[in-house]
Structure 1
Amino acid sequence: MINTLTVRQATPADTGSILRIYNQGIEDRIATLETETKDSSYMEAWFNDHQGRFSVLVAEREGKVIGWASLNPYSHRCAYNGVADLSVYIERSFRGQGAGSSLLESLHKIAKENSFYKIVLFTFPFNESGQGLYRKMGYRQVGVFEKQGIMDGAFIDVMIMEKLL
């Protein structure tokens, strides 16, 4: 039997799964400069800020949320109103199995429907699997911010990628 993957709009009931998967990304140190795991009150506030144009999608397999993606505000300046920042997180045991591609494909459609013309993202230069996904989905490297942040006492470079929709 084929495990069907479903991508849908996230609901408040999904915040526990989104939080669990986000905390895996924080713990794994491959996707964010955040170093402290988050709690449910953080995630509820985050989810409430992601309504309207700033959608959150989840990927489900057999009724279990295995990944999520969101469009995030890039800047508060009106000149950047058509630019969204991107977040994608996949549960550890499901990485590399197509959930990221499915989420991004759906998120690109929603971004266009909400008058975004460009999506930007920030990734670590050593996150090769993430970069592979982004390149496969049409993103290009723009540059690298050297020593953009500190994680676990060490400077971390951050790569910028973009996709014109």
Structure 2
Amino acid sequence: MMETLTVRHATLEDTESILRIYNQGIEDRIATLETETKDSSYMEAWFHDHQGRFSVLVAEKEGKVIGWASLNPYSHRCAYKGVADLSVYIDRNYRGQGVGSTLLDALEKAAKEQEFYKIVLFTFPFNQGGQGLYQKMGYRQVGVFEKQGVMDGELIDVMIMEKLLSAESKSVNL
């Protein structure tokens, strides 16, 4: 019997798995403008910066971490306190199997608990898998930054997407 997918808050012990999956995203050139793989000291520092409001969740199957998602600061300006950026990375052997949807759903719930009202993300226009996930989860395209970054000597466009988590009120008390 296949074990079901479990999503939980990441612990420091998960950073090696998070690092492995993040480095796959760097190597595959579909999810980040980073081109140099990272090491464990980088990932441990990153993890320590993602405490409190900026949750990191992992997806586990049969005891193995196969994906992760995080809420990241969008801006340090107080006017954007309710807006989070997100990251979602799935082990290349498990992409397209619903892991991203499960993680993103749990991350949105965590974001609401931390009083975020909006999530934004940046993706590549050529990342069809990522865009399919985000569109399915209700994110909308806001626009495209043309030639926003450089990867492997090429100028790369970056698409901006967003989702409002709470549409009940136009006023917020953060």
Shift of 1:130: 0.3
| Number of equivalent positions | 165
Letter in 2 for 1:13: E
Aligned to 1:129: 129
Aligned to 1:97: 97
Aligned to 2:2: 2
Question: Aligned to 2:93, what secondary structure does the other structure show?
Answer: helix
Letter in 2 for 1:98: G
Shift of 1:91: 0.2
Aligned to 2:153: 153
Question: How high is the TM-score relative to the length of structure 2?
Answer: 0.94
Letter in 1 for 2:31: A
Letter in 2 for 1:3: E
What stretches of structure 2 of length at least 5 have no aligned partner?
166-174
State the Cα deviation string for residues 63-87 of structure 1 (Å, max 9, x = none): 0000000000000100000000000
What stretches of structure 1 of length at least 5 have no aligned partner?
none
Letter in 1 for 2:135: R
State the Cα deviation string for residues 21-71 of structure 1 (Å, max 9, x = none): 000000000000000000000000000000000000000000000000000
Shift of 1:2: 3.1
Written as runs of structure 1 = structure 2, the 5 A alignment for 1:47-62 is 47-62=47-62
Counting aligned pairs with the same residue, the percent is: 84
Aligned to 1:164: 164
| Distance in 1 of aligned mates of 2:98 and 2:2 | 13
| Distance in 1 of aligned mates of 2:98 and 2:8 | 15
Question: How high is the TM-score relative to the length of structure 1?
Answer: 0.99
State the Cα deviation string for residues 108-147 of structure 1 (Å, max 9, x = none): 0010010000000000000001000000001000000000
Letter in 1 for 2:14: D
Aligned to 1:63: 63
Aligned to 1:144: 144
Aligned to 2:113: 113
Contact 2:2–2:62 (CA<8 Å) still a contact in 1? no
Shift of 1:20: 0.3
Question: Aligned to 1:105, what secondary structure does the other structure show?
Answer: helix
| Distance in 2 of aligned mates of 1:126 and 1:84 | 23
Shift of 1:3: 3.4
Aligned to 2:18: 18
